[in-house]
Amino acid sequence: MISKKMEEAINQQINEELYSAYLYLSMAGYFAEQNLMGFYNWLFVQYHEELAHAEKFFKYLIERGGQVRLTAIKEPERTWKSPKDAFEAVLKHEQHITGKINELVDLAEAEKDRATFAMLQWFVNEQVEEEANAQEIVAKLEMVGEHKQGLLMIDRELAQRK
């Protein structure tokens, strides 16, 4: 049986992951409005990844006999100043999520909850990838600056994500 503290923290993380999905879906809409359909594709795939993260925590909580408590998801932003501004927001958000995962790891250690600690290792590794992916796109957007041609090249590349 999982502790009440750990159960509450995992419930909060389900909300964080669902908010991540909501944020990236909102961002996908922002890019679609600008006909940047590669960026749209990348964010739509990311939206599904975040749903999968929420489901992973949800199923784990049930497996451990915990009680799932879904709470309201806050409204995400709808517009950004530029593609670079949007992807800087992705990176900042992923850094925030990494912080949340690290807090969960600290709590699992404090609670001597080995099973949760082990489950969280997947998320620790996943966050390395999540931050690296966002960082790479921010770096490319910085490289192309105001050049529309460069932006369209990145858009074509991001259209490949499945």
Question: Which of 28, 97 has the CB closer to ligand FEO?
Answer: 97
Binding of ligand FEO by 88 (CB under 6 A): no
Q: Point out the residue whose Cβ comes nearest to ligand FEO.
A: 53
Identify whether the C-beta of residue 53 lies closer than 8 Å to the C-beta of residue 122.
no
Instruction: Output b/e per residue, 143-158; b: 16+ Cβ within 10 A.
Output: ebeeeeeebeebbeeb
Residues 6+ away with beta carbon under 8 Å from 145: none
The single residue among 7, 88, 94, 113 that binds ligand FEO, judged by CB under 6 A, is 94
The single residue among 2, 10, 20, 36 that binds ligand FEO, judged by CB under 6 A, is 20
Least gap, CB of 161 to ligand FEO (angstroms) = 14
Least gap, CB of 157 to ligand FEO (angstroms) = 20
Question: Which of 43, 151 has the CB closer to ligand FEO?
Answer: 43
Residue with tokens 């489901």: 55
Residue with tokens 């990176």: 91
**DSSP secondary structure string for all residues of 40-52:** HHHHHHHHHHHHH
Q: Catalog residues that contact ligand FEO under the rule CB under 6 A.
A: 17, 20, 50, 53, 94, 97, 130
